[in-house]
Amino acid sequence: MYDFLRALPKAELHLHIEGSMEPELMFKLAERNGVGLRYDSVEDVREAYDFADLQSFLDLYYQGMAVLQTADDFHDLAMDYFQRAASEGVVHVDLSFDPQAHLSRGVGMRAQMEGLLAAMEEARQELDLSTAMIMSFLRDQPAASALDVFELAGPWHRHLSAVGLDSAEAGFPPAPFAEVFRRARAAGIPGVAHAGEEGPPDYIRDALDLLGVIRIDHGVRCLEDPALVQRLRDDQIPLTVCPLSNVRLKVVDELARHPLPALLEAGLKLTLNSDDPAYFGGGVLTNFLACQQAFGWDEETFRQLARNALEEAFMTEDRRRALL
Ligand code: ES4
Ligand code: ZN
């Protein structure tokens, strides 16, 4: 089964590039940029990754990214991840990033974009890995800030495959972001949003109705609302589920009790993703293997999950035909 899952062409649709920073790279960039870390060693960092909930993770996630300063840093971060992903049999990545988390530290949009776009081009040429960019807004910041960032990114809008919505969810509903998602759509840029991770099923419905998103990130709490499940199934709205993330952030207490089997049984269009692989214990292949262990799924189930991701990824139709 390992060989089968490794060889299966997989697409990653839910990946925060800042959450792919392994402690080794964090130390390397800290030294390169003269940034102090509150850890003495790589082992210290890994030991600190013991989270009670989403917020306790986000606190370390925003801290860790302080080492990212220059375009080269963003390039190296993305290439480091692309190489690992390719070695796990990942053929396509929809990469999310959080520009506000860098702008607020004085790191400009140009450095972020140029570094990430250079790595994406290198991945295409050297790893045969296709990629797409999702620019995410922080929902725990004012919606006016998201609008500013969308305008600031104007010169790079043609590089954006989607806009997203992430960060602390509970208490931060989608509604205030309707305007920025509308503006993106008017510019030909679709939306995706985290919803139903820690937040209630209503946030999933609002993301669909008020933001007009075409995919839901996480979405696992939809099961609390049967009418919503029916809608997600009828419309085959993709959910980008992140099994190991949900375990590490205590959305579920163990993988064997994850709602994935119930979500599958409900006929939903699911994909398996890593979210923040450096923080949650591994990449896409590790998530596939963990599900195999926990649920005993057969090859056909994994083939369908991988196929769902290739169908829903932001890629050219030529590339999709070649991969499907
Ligand atoms: C995130 Cl797991 C998760 N949820 C919400 N926002 C995020 N940003 C990075 N990882
Ligand atoms: Zn996420």
Query: 218 — alpha (psi -120 to 50), left (phi > 0) or beta?
Result: left
Asked if 197 is an active-site residue, the reply is: yes
Residue 166: CB within 6 Å of ligand 1? Answer: yes
Q: Which two tokens stand for residue 70?
A: 């220059």
pLDDT digits (tens, 9 = 90+) for 121-131: 999 999 999 99
Residue 159 marked in a binding site: no
pLDDT digits (tens, 9 = 90+) for 138-181: 999 999 999 999 999 999 999 999 999 999 999 999 999 999 99
Secondary structure, 3-state, the chain: CHHHHHHCCEEEEEEEHHHHCCHHHHHHHHHHHCCCCCCCCHHHHHHHCCCCCHHHHHHHHHHHHHHCCCHHHHHHHHHHHHHHHHHCCEEEEEEEECHHHHHCCCCCHHHHHHHHHHHHHHHHHHHCCEEEEEEEEECCCCHHHHHHHHHHCHHHHHHEEEEEEECCCCCCCCHHHHHHHHHHHHCCCCEEEEECCCCCHHHHHHHHHCCCCCEEEECHHHHHCHHHHHHHHHCCCCEEECHHHHHHCCCCCCHHHCCHHHHHHCCCCEEECCECHHHHCCCHHHHHHHHHHHHCCCHHHHHHHHHHHHHHCCCCHHHHHHHC
pLDDT digits (tens, 9 = 90+) for 280-323: 999 999 999 999 999 999 999 999 999 999 999 999 999 999 99
User: In this structure, what are the phi and psi dihedrals at residue 117, rounded to the nearest 5 degrees?
Assistant: -65, -35
pLDDT digits (tens, 9 = 90+) for 252-278: 999 999 999 999 999 999 999 999 999
Instruction: Compute the chain's Rg from CA coordinates.
Output: 18
Q: Which two tokens stand for residue 210?
A: 């008020």
Average pLDDT, whole number, for the chain? 98
CATH of the domain at 193: 3.20.20.140
pLDDT at res. 232: 98
pLDDT digits (tens, 9 = 90+) for 71-113: 999 999 999 999 999 999 999 999 999 999 999 999 999 999 9
pLDDT at res. 253: 97
Total domains in the chain come to 1
- 201 C-alpha to center of ligand 2: Å? 17
Least Cα distance to 149 among 188, 121, 181 occurs for 181
Q: Which residue from 61, 98, 244 has its CB within 8 A of the most atoms of ligand 1, so it is best to mutate?
A: 61
The answer to whether residues 97 and 133 touch, using CB atoms and an 8 Å cutoff, is: yes
Residue 209 marked in a binding site: no
List CB contacts of 173: < 8 A, sequence separation 6 or more.
199, 202, 203, 206
Please name the residue whose Cα sits nearest to atom 7 of ligand 1: 167
Q: Which atom of ligand 1 is nearest to the CA of 249?
A: 2
pLDDT at res. 79: 99
Q: Which pLDDT band holds residue 192 (cuts at 50, 70, 90)?
A: very high
Q: Which long-range contacts (CB under 8 A, 24 or more apart) does 252-261 make?
A: 252/220, 255/290, 255/291, 255/293, 255/294, 256/294, 256/295, 258/220, 258/294, 259/220, 259/223, 260/291, 260/295, 261/295
pLDDT digits (tens, 9 = 90+) for 208-222: 999 999 999 999 999
User: In this structure, what are the phi and psi dihedrals at residue 12, rounded to the nearest 5 degrees?
Assistant: -105, 115
User: In this structure, what are the phi and psi dihedrals at residue 282, rounded to the nearest 5 degrees?
Assistant: 145, 170
Containing domain of residue 179, as a range? Answer: 2-323
List CB contacts of 237: < 8 A, sequence separation 6 or more.
208, 214, 215, 216, 231, 268, 269
Q: Which residue from 17, 57, 172 has its CB within 8 A of the most atoms of ligand 1, so it is best to mutate?
A: 57
d(CA 218, CA 310): 17
Residue 16: CB within 6 Å of ligand 1? Answer: yes
Q: Which residue from 13, 54, 280 has its CB within 8 A of the most atoms of ligand 1, so it is best to mutate?
A: 54
pLDDT at res. 224: 98
What is the ipTM metric for this complex? 0.97
Q: Which atom of ligand 1 is nearest to the CA of 61?
A: 9
Residue 59 marked in a binding site: no
pLDDT at res. 296: 98
Please name the residue whose Cα sits nearest to atom 6 of ligand 1: 167
- 244 C-alpha to center of ligand 2: Å? 12
Catalytic pick from 18, 88, 169, 197? 197
- 287 C-alpha to center of ligand 2: Å? 14
Residue 245: CB within 6 Å of ligand 1? Answer: yes
Residue 157 marked in a binding site: no
Q: In what order do the strands lie in the sheet with 270-272?
A: 192-195, 215-218, 239-241, 270-272
Residue 102 marked in a binding site: no
